[in-house]
Amino acid sequence: MPNTRPEHLPDYLTPPLHEVVIGVQFSPPKEYHQIRAGEVWALYKREFPKVQEQPALEPAFETFGIPSTPKPRVNLITGASHDRYWFVADEGDELIQFQQDRLLHNWRRVGDQTNAYPRFEKMIERFSEEIRSLEKYFASLSSEALAITQCEITYLNHIRIETWPPKLDDWFQGLSLAGTSIDDANIGFRQIIRDDNQQPIGRITHEITAGLTREGVRILILNLTVRGAPEGPDIESALRFLKNGRELIVNRFTEITTKKAHSIWGRKA
């Protein structure tokens, strides 16, 4: 059954969306070695024919409880290091990120920034095919099942400001900065996500910063990320987490932005 957009979600004609990332983290398969990265690329090469190498992402887990005293960080390398690979589409607007414990799918604005967002429903459909292909490939190396440990979804928004400095309360509500013009911004906060039994399963992270486009235009950047553990280590559980995370982000975007901003972005629902 094809994915359809939930009717209750807010929608906009011209949202300030700049990039969307969906993906999972999993336990590194024991029989996978970096020399096999070309075999993984072969799974996606037809649609993602370009390759870039990037530094690996470190494992990230949402943990809960009383924070412990920060300790000096020591990295102990017990085996070969692994790179992260970007498999990039010809147009450059979509890419797959792969490393031994991650698979992510990105969509981003490129060129003149007018390329159309394919919508989450299309992205999650494609990601479902991509992660299943990877699971099948890993199964060919050993009988070990893919064990997903964390899911993440990010919506990165670039809000263009006609005149600088902006007034945050023109764009965001609930910040108690009525009438205040800002020269810079670096605001961040996190909220725990709970399941039906009120047990913590993840967090939604909010970040508001000031930035520049490649053309030197000053913007406000709103980054909303949901990360946490699915109810099970299987693909279906991960997909449900990502779909719920998307709904949380879209609703939260509407809750923390103003009606004036909604009018500028052409809110439809």
Instruction: Please give the pLDDT value at position 213.
Output: 87
User: Residue 34 corresponds to which amino acid?
Assistant: Q
β-pair partners for 98: 85, 103
Q: In the predicted model, is pLDDT for residue 1 greater than 70?
A: no
Instruction: Please give the pLDDT value at position 73.
Output: 47
Parallel, antiparallel, or unpaired for β 186-194 and 148-160?
A: unpaired
How far is Cα of residue 253 from the mean position of the Cα atoms in its chain?
A: 14
> Domain ranges in the chain?
28-59+81-146, 151-269
pLDDT digits (tens, 9 = 90+) for 31-70: 999 999 999 999 999 999 999 999 999 999 999 986 655 5
Packing angle, helices 120-141 and 235-256, rounded to 10: 150
Closest to 4 in 3D by CA, of 117, 121, 124, 119? 121
The answer to whether 187 touches 201, Cβ cutoff 8 Å, is: no
Instruction: Please give the pLDDT value at position 203.
Output: 98
First-last CA distance in the chain: 24
pLDDT digits (tens, 9 = 90+) for 204-232: 999 999 999 888 889 999 999 999 999 99
Cα 243 to Cα 240: distance, rounded to the nearest angstrom: 5
Q: Residue 16 — φ and ψ, nearest 5°?
A: -80, 25
Q: Residue 25 — φ and ψ, nearest 5°?
A: -115, 140
Q: Is the pTM of this model over 0.85?
A: yes
Closest to 159 in 3D by CA, of 261, 14, 16? 16
